[in-house]
Structure 1
Amino acid sequence: MKKTVTLICLAFLSSTSFGQKGPKIEFKAADNTIDYGKIYKGIDSGIRVFEFTNTGDAPLIIENVQSTCGCAVPSKPKEPILPGKTGKIEVKYNMATGPIRKSITVESNAINYEGGKIHLKIKGEVLEKPNVNVLEKKKAGPVQ
């Protein structure tokens, strides 16, 4: 009898943890990462957008968004995101040449992440803009 009661209690507790109520955040970017790829300084603006949806049943509040350095500047939505609605976190990278490997921490009231903290990542590589001399003669192909 004790085993049956214990089993019922465990089943009840596990089912209530799955039915948690509150805001939930789901990002569209795979692994919460945006890959800039190979981009050129002076040609690309460095701005990318993390889109997300509140899949919970209460308003989602983005309390703070911070980058690991000053070279990536994130901006957060000012208003709460209602259930079923989408929001955006914009990130502007300063386009310093070299590899991009930065993290952004989002603090929210989302219940599907421990403490409401979500870690986003940006990656890629910024290359120098190729110099093209319009006065330089093009190499001629074989003459026939």
Structure 2
Amino acid sequence: MTMKKLSLVLLASALMFTACNNNNEENTNGSQDSTAVATTQEGAGRMEFEEEAFNFGTIKEGEVVEHVFKFKNTGDFPVVLAQVSASCGCTTPTYTSTPVKPGESGEISVKFDSNGQVGQQQKIITIASNAEKPVTTVQLKGEVVVN
């Protein structure tokens, strides 16, 4: 891993830990996290997500939300997901562990446990890979109300 990629991954990891207790703030402009800086590589894979944000609406505290973010590799080389992490311990991602060949699809499954998470929610899932954009994010949004 190059020093530039390592720096991006470390910066994204540091930022994700500060977002866990940030329940009442929401990214209202819909833009991607500024840490997901694109880098240009020759012959890289490219992850194109069907959706970059999922709004689960309003749920009662204690409910568990599950969602699958699907992506297609539209690049020229296989994409390998090196690490997928969430902004809070209440959110657990699992992901495709085998290389995703050009033209094929992969997925990141996310489970959000709303126990103790009352209010507006925005959970960031950070994806580190060997793709053209080595660090990218997807997010879960919604509101948790008292049971």
Provide the rounded CA distance (Å) in 2 between the counterparts of 1:87 and 1:19.
Answer: 21
Q: CA deviation at 1:100?
A: 1.3
Is 1:90 matched up with 2:112? no
Mark the runs of 5 or more structure 2 residues left unpaired by the alignment: 1-39
Gaps of 5+ in 1: 1-17, 130-144
Establish whether residue 104 from structure 1 lines up as the match of residue 125 from structure 2: yes
1:77 aligns with 2:99: no
What is the CA–CA distance in structure 1 between the aligned matches of 2:42 and 2:87, rounded to whole Å? Answer: 31
Q: Structure 1: which 4+ aligned runs deviate by more than 6 Å?
A: none
Q: In the TM superposition, what is the alpha-carbon distance from 1:45 to its structure 2 partner?
A: 3.5
Amino acid in the other structure paired with 1:118: T
Measured in 2, the distance between the counterparts of 1:61 and 1:117 equals 12
TM-score of the superposition, structure 2-length normalised? 0.65
Aligned pair count reads: 107
Greater helix share, structure number:
1
State the TM-score, normalized to the length of structure 1. Answer: 0.67
Percent identity over paired residues:
34
Structure (1 or 2) with the larger CA radius of gyration = 1
Provide the rounded CA distance (Å) in 1 between the counterparts of 2:46 and 2:123: 24
Tell me the distance in 2 between the aligned counterparts of 1:22 and 1:101: 30
AA aligned to 1:73 is T
Matches within 5 A, 1:10-49: 20-29=42-51, 32-41=52-61, 45-49=64-68
Hey, what does 1:65 align to over in structure 2? Answer: 84
